[in-house]
Amino acid sequence: MPFKFIHLTDTHLANPGLKLYGLDPRARLDAAIADINQHQSDAAFAVVTGDLTHWGEPDSYTNFAEAMAALKIPYIAMVGNHDRRVTCLDALKAAPRDANGFVQGTRTTEHGLFVFLDTLDETSHAGEMCAKRLGWLASTLAAAPADMPLVVFMHHPPFPVGVHAMDEIGLKQSAEFAEVIAPYRARIRHLFFGHVHRPIFGSWGRIPFSTLRGTNHQVWFELDQSAPHLASHEPPAYGVVLIDDENLVVHSHDFLDQSLRFPFAPPAGMDGRDYALSFPAR
C-alpha cells in the first residue's frame, strides 16, 4: 500500500462563534476533520500549510486546537501570513520550532525527509525567508543523506502562479530560496504550499508542486491583472497524497460536495442503455 498523508491549508479560524466572509470556518474545518476520520483515517498524518487563523488571536488558536483534537491522526501545523508566530507556538504542540524560534522542522518518513518552512512576515502579507531561515534550510538539506528524497512544505509559493493579486504577496526572497535548494532540486519529489486558495498543479524548474482550496473561503480565478481581487464561496477541499517508490499522487477532495452519486452499472434486469439514458430517475 502507498504511504498516505493529508494536506490541509488556509483554515482561517476566527474566535469561537464568529463567521468569516459569511461562512463558519470552525464548522467547515470540523466537516473536513469528520470526513478525514471517516474515509482517510489510515493516513500517517496531516499537514496544515498555514493561515491556521485569520487574525492570530489566542482564542482563535484555541479554537483551532480544539477542532484538530478530533482528528484521529497526528498533524503538523505551519504558519502563514494571517498567523502570529509566538501565539501559534504557545498554543500548538503540533507546530515545529527551530533553534531560532521559527515554525520550522522536519519529519523523516519511509519516503524521504519532509521539510516544513516558516514564510511568515508579521509586517506584510507577502512571504519572507530571512537569512536565519534560509540558513536553517541550507544546513537541514546538507545534513540529509545524499540518497534521501525530499518533500517540501511552505505557505507562500516561491514563484508566480498567474493570479496577479496573490503573486504580489508571494515569497519575497524567491531568488534566494531557489539558490539554496538548487543543489537538491533533483531530489525534491514535491513542493506543497497554501496561500493561494486555488487548486493549482504543475512544476517549477522541474519540481512538481500542488496547492489547494482552503477549508473556508477561496480566491476567485482571474488572470486579468486589471480585474478586481475577489473572494468566493467555491467548495472547500483537502488533499489526499499517496506516495510509493515511483509515484506521488495528489487527490483534491471537495469534502462538502453533495451531488448525486450512483452506480455505473444498471440493476439486474434493466437494460444498460435505458439506464444510462434515463438515470437518475426520480
Sign of CA dihedral 169, 237, 25, 217: positive
Instruction: Compute how many other C-beta atoms are within 10 angstroms of the C-beta atom of residue 204.
Output: 17
Tens-level pLDDT at each residue, the chain (282 residues): 889 999 999 999 999 999 999 999 999 999 999 999 999 999 999 999 999 999 999 999 999 999 999 999 999 999 999 999 999 999 999 999 999 999 999 999 999 999 999 999 999 999 999 999 999 999 999 999 999 999 999 999 999 999 999 999 999 999 999 999 999 999 999 999 999 999 999 999 999 999 999 999 999 999 999 999 999 999 999 999 999 999 999 999 999 999 988 888 888 888 888 888 887 655
Query: Using CA atoms, how far apart are residues 54 and 209, in angstroms rounded to an integer?
Result: 25
Q: What superfamily would CATH give domain 3-278?
A: Metallo-dependent phosphatases (3.60.21.10)
Give the residue carrying C-alpha cell 442503455.
Answer: 273
- DSSP category for residue 153: E
Query: Using CA atoms, how far apart are residues 276 and 172, in angstroms rounded to an integer?
Result: 53
Contacts of 136 (CB under 8 A, 6+ apart): 98, 99, 100, 102, 104
| Type of residue numbered 243 | I
Pairing relation of β-strands 207-211 and 188-193? parallel
pTM of the model: 0.96
